[in-house]
A and B are shown apart, each in its own frame.
Chain A
Amino acid sequence: MPQADIAHSATGAAPSQSPWKFLRLHFEFARVGFVNTLAYRLRYYTGIVTYFIYVSVYYFIWKAIYEHSVSIEGFDFAHLLTYIGVGWIIRSLYFNNIDQDLAYQVIEGRLAMDLIKPVNIQFMYVARAAGEAVFRLALLTIPTGVVLFLVYPLRPPASWGNAAAFLVSVGFSFLIVAAINFAVGTFALRLQSILGLLRAKFFLLELFSGLLLPMTFFPHAVQKILDLMPFQYISYIPMLIYLGKLHGGGLARAMSIQVFWVAVLMAIGDGLWRWSTGKLIIQGG
Chain B
Amino acid sequence: MPPIIEVQGLTKEFRTFRRREGVLGALQNLFVREYLTVHAVDHVSFSIERGEMVGYIGANGAGKSTTIKVLTGILSPTGGRVISNGFVPYRERRHYTKHIGVVFGQRTQLWWDIAVIESFKLLKEIYEIPEPDFRKRLDVFSELLNLKEYLHTPVRKLSLGERMRCDLAASLLHNPPLLFLDEPTIGLDVVAKERIREFLKEINRTEGTTVLLTTHDLSDIEELSRRILIIDKGRILFDGDLEQMKNRLAQYNQVKFFLKDRTQIPRLAQIETDGIVCQRVDELTYLIRFDREHHSSAAVIRQIVNTLEVRDLLVEEEPIEEIVKRIYLKGEVA
Q: Which of A31-64 contact B (CB under 8 A)?
A: 31, 34-35, 38-39, 41
The answer on a CB contact under 8 Å between A38 and B30 is yes
Q: Which partner residue on chain B sits nearest A109 by CB separation?
A: B156
Q: List 13 A-B contacts (CB under 8 A).
A: A34-B23, A34-B26, A35-B22, A35-B23, A38-B26, A38-B27, A38-B29, A38-B30, A39-B19, A39-B26, A39-B29, A41-B29, A41-B30
A34-B23, A35-B26 known; 14 new pairs, CB 8 Å cut-off, are A31-B23, A34-B26, A35-B22, A35-B23, A38-B23, A38-B26, A38-B27, A38-B29, A38-B30, A39-B19, A39-B26, A39-B29, A41-B29, A41-B30
Interface string of A14-43 (1 = CB under 8 A from B): 000000000000000001001100110100
B29 neighbours in A (Cβ, 8 Å): 38-39, 41
Q: Which partner residue on chain A sits nearest B21 by CB separation?
A: A35
A38, A39, A41 — which one has the most chain B CB atoms within 10 A of its CB? A38
A31 neighbours in B (Cβ, 8 Å): 23
A41 neighbours in B (Cβ, 8 Å): 29-30
Within the assembled complex, what's the spacing in Å between the Cα atoms of A41 and B27? 10
Q: Which of B1-53 contact A (CB under 8 A)?
A: 19, 22-23, 26-27, 29-30
Within the assembled complex, what's the spacing in Å between the Cα atoms of A235 and B277? 82
Q: Which partner residue on chain B sits nearest A138 by CB separation?
A: B27
Within the assembled complex, what's the spacing in Å between the Cα atoms of A191 and B30? 36
Q: Which partner residue on chain A sits nearest B27 by CB separation?
A: A38
Pick the 8 closest A-B CB pairs, nearest first: A38-B26, A35-B26, A41-B30, A35-B23, A38-B30, A38-B27, A34-B23, A39-B26
Q: Which partner residue on chain A sits nearest B22 by CB separation?
A: A35
Count contacts on A: residues with CB < 8 A to the other chain: 6
Within the assembled complex, what's the spacing in Å between the Cα atoms of A214 and B8? 70
Q: Which of B93-147 contact A (CB under 8 A)?
A: none
**Nearest CB of chain A from residue B329's CB, rounded to whole Å:** 34
Within the assembled complex, what's the spacing in Å between the Cα atoms of A60 and B28? 38
Within the assembled complex, what's the spacing in Å between the Cα atoms of A262 and B30? 34
**Nearest CB of chain A from residue B156's CB, rounded to whole Å:** 9
**Nearest CB of chain A from residue B20's CB, rounded to whole Å:** 10
Within the assembled complex, what's the spacing in Å between the Cα atoms of A27 and B22? 14
Q: Which partner residue on chain A sits nearest B29 by CB separation?
A: A38
Within the assembled complex, what's the spacing in Å between the Cα atoms of A34 and B30? 13
Within the assembled complex, what's the spacing in Å between the Cα atoms of A31 and B29? 16
A34 neighbours in B (Cβ, 8 Å): 23, 26
**Nearest CB of chain B from residue A31's CB, rounded to whole Å:** 7
Within the assembled complex, what's the spacing in Å between the Cα atoms of A38 and B28? 10
**Nearest CB of chain A from residue B108's CB, rounded to whole Å:** 14
Within the assembled complex, what's the spacing in Å between the Cα atoms of A34 and B24? 11
**Nearest CB of chain A from residue B236's CB, rounded to whole Å:** 36
**Nearest CB of chain B from residue A262's CB, rounded to whole Å:** 28
A35 neighbours in B (Cβ, 8 Å): 22-23, 26
Interface string of B162-187 (1 = CB under 8 A from A): 00000000000000000000000000
Q: Which partner residue on chain A sits nearest B23 by CB separation?
A: A35
**Nearest CB of chain A from residue B333's CB, rounded to whole Å:** 40
Within the assembled complex, what's the spacing in Å between the Cα atoms of A35 and B23? 6
Within the assembled complex, what's the spacing in Å between the Cα atoms of A35 and B19? 12
Within the assembled complex, what's the spacing in Å between the Cα atoms of A41 and B23? 14
Within the assembled complex, what's the spacing in Å between the Cα atoms of A41 and B26? 10
A38 neighbours in B (Cβ, 8 Å): 23, 26-27, 29-30
A39 neighbours in B (Cβ, 8 Å): 19, 26, 29
B23 neighbours in A (Cβ, 8 Å): 31, 34-35, 38
Within the assembled complex, what's the spacing in Å between the Cα atoms of A34 and B27? 10
Q: Which partner residue on chain A sits nearest B31 by CB separation?
A: A41
Within the assembled complex, what's the spacing in Å between the Cα atoms of A155 and B29? 36
Interface string of A203-226 (1 = CB under 8 A from B): 000000000000000000000000
Within the assembled complex, what's the spacing in Å between the Cα atoms of A39 and B17? 12
Within the assembled complex, what's the spacing in Å between the Cα atoms of A31 and B21? 13
Within the assembled complex, what's the spacing in Å between the Cα atoms of A34 and B23? 8
**Nearest CB of chain A from residue B16's CB, rounded to whole Å:** 14
**Nearest CB of chain A from residue B240's CB, rounded to whole Å:** 43
Within the assembled complex, what's the spacing in Å between the Cα atoms of A34 and B26? 9
**Nearest CB of chain A from residue B21's CB, rounded to whole Å:** 9
Within the assembled complex, what's the spacing in Å between the Cα atoms of A35 and B86? 49
B22 neighbours in A (Cβ, 8 Å): 35
Q: Which of A150-170 contact B (CB under 8 A)?
A: none
**Nearest CB of chain A from residue B266's CB, rounded to whole Å:** 57
B26 neighbours in A (Cβ, 8 Å): 34-35, 38-39
Within the assembled complex, what's the spacing in Å between the Cα atoms of A88 and B23? 27
**Nearest CB of chain A from residue B24's CB, rounded to whole Å:** 10
